[in-house]
Structure 1
Amino acid sequence: MNPQSQKVQNPETNVPKTPQMNERDYVNDQLSTEKYMTASYNVALNEASNQNLYNDLATIFKETQDCQRDMYNLMFKKGWYSLEAADQQKLQQSYQQFSGYKNQLPYGG
């Protein structure tokens, strides 16, 4: 890991440290549920043979995905979710690697 890497995080909102579930636990549980649901709806979308069913599932998928994003944003805002700042050298290496893959595609990139 790069010694200059740093976390991207908001100040953490404190919650009681008790055996009972607290606000953070509830939001984290909901985030996990929304992630599971979007994965499941994705499978259902891939398998739907009826166009009307597909359209309904696509609408529900979008609503569920938006809810998942809202839960993530809430956790990040409250400082319960942190990210690592990207290492610019690693980003450049990945970009070059995948740019090379693009040139190998049948349509010519």
Structure 2
Amino acid sequence: MNQTQKIQNPETNVPKTPQMNERDFVNDQLTTEKYMTASYNIALNEASNQNLYQDLATIFKETQDCQRNLYNLMFKNGWYALEQAEKQKIDQTYQQFTGYKTQLPYNVQ
């Protein structure tokens, strides 16, 4: 069995104290932005007025971009790590969802 490989930059050290440090603040803001994008997504699905929908879509995009910038900052500073997926798992998931596609009432290309 292959061992999972982490993808991570060298970690930027921050003080380990009871007070919030830079990493804590950025992580808190990232969590908030993720929550906000999820909430705006629901609002977009429910908006019945076109002007409101357009305004929400603009705000959603700005919020999503902010979330992505915070994620990139955390990754750059080594505060966010990813795990490299094994090729076998990727292939298995691809086959699974390819099978789902054949069950749809219309042919998705």
TM range (shorter): over 0.9
Stretches of structure 1 that go unaligned for 5 or more consecutive residues are none
**Which residue of 1 is the match for residue 105 of structure 2?**
106
Aligned residue in 2 for 1:48? 47
SS of residue matched to 1:7: strand
Q: What is the 5 A alignment of 1:60-71?
A: 60-71=59-70
Cα deviation, 1:40-89, whole Å, max 9, x if unaligned, reads 11111111111001000000000000000000000000000001111110
Partners of 1:41 and 1:108 in 2: CA distance: 30
Count matched residues: 108
Percentage identity across paired residues of the two chains: 80
In structure 1, the residue matched to 2:89 is 90
Q: Which 4+ residue blocks in structure 1 deviate beyond 4 angstroms?
A: none
The two structures have a TM-score, normalised by structure 2, of 0.95
1:4 CA drift (Å): 2.7
Corresponding residue for residue 23 of structure 2: 24
Structure 1 length-normalised TM = 0.95
* Alpha-carbon separation, structure 1, partners of 2:69 and 2:47: 27
What SS does the aligned partner of 1:107 have? coil
Amino acid at match of 1:43: I
Amino acid at match of 2:41: N
Q: Supply the distance in 2 between the matched residues of 1:68 and 1:43 (Cα, whole angstroms).
A: 17
More off after superposition, 11-20 vs 38-47: 38-47
- Could you list the runs of 5+ residues in structure 2 that have no partner in the other structure? none
Partner of 1:75: 74
Q: CA RMSD in A?
A: 1.0
